[in-house]
Amino acid sequence: MKKLIIVSMGLLIAGAVTVRAAEAKENWDKYCTKCHGADGKGKTKMGEKFGIKDYSDAKVQEGLKDDDMAKSIKEGKGKMKGFGESLSDDEIKALVKYVRGLKA
């Protein structure tokens, strides 16, 4: 019985992580790709206009702090509007993790 509970909890957690990753990708596609591009390189019309950083670049990623990224997503920064009214704190954290995954 104990093993069954442990296995069930593990599957539940794994399922939640998978769902969160899928939601992060959907949110990235919905809110971010217009400027940042699907690959995070910023090679879009809007990205080039605003000089957006290449999030696939390891050196760029090194200079970013998770808390700062989350704050920028939530409140906006420069020309980027904030998405705090559209995204929950958990969704914003998932987006930060998604951005980290763009690193080449």
Q: Domain of 64: which CATH number?
A: 1.10.760.10
pTM of the entire predicted model:
0.78
Inter-axis angle of helices 66-75 and 89-100, nearest 10: 130
- Mean pLDDT across the chain: 86
Q: Where in the sequence is the domain holding 83, given as residue range(s)?
A: 2-100
CB 76 within 8 A of CB 82: yes
Number of domains comprising the chain: 1
pLDDT beyond 60 at 58: yes
- Determine the pLDDT at residue 6: 61
Stronger pLDDT, 8 or 58, i.e. the higher one:
58
Q: How many CA atoms lie within 13 A of 55 on its CB side?
A: 24
pLDDT beyond 80 at 17: no
Pairing mode of beta strands 80-81, 76-77: antiparallel
Which of 9-13, 42-46, 69-73, 84-88 shows the lowest mean pLDDT across its residues?
9-13
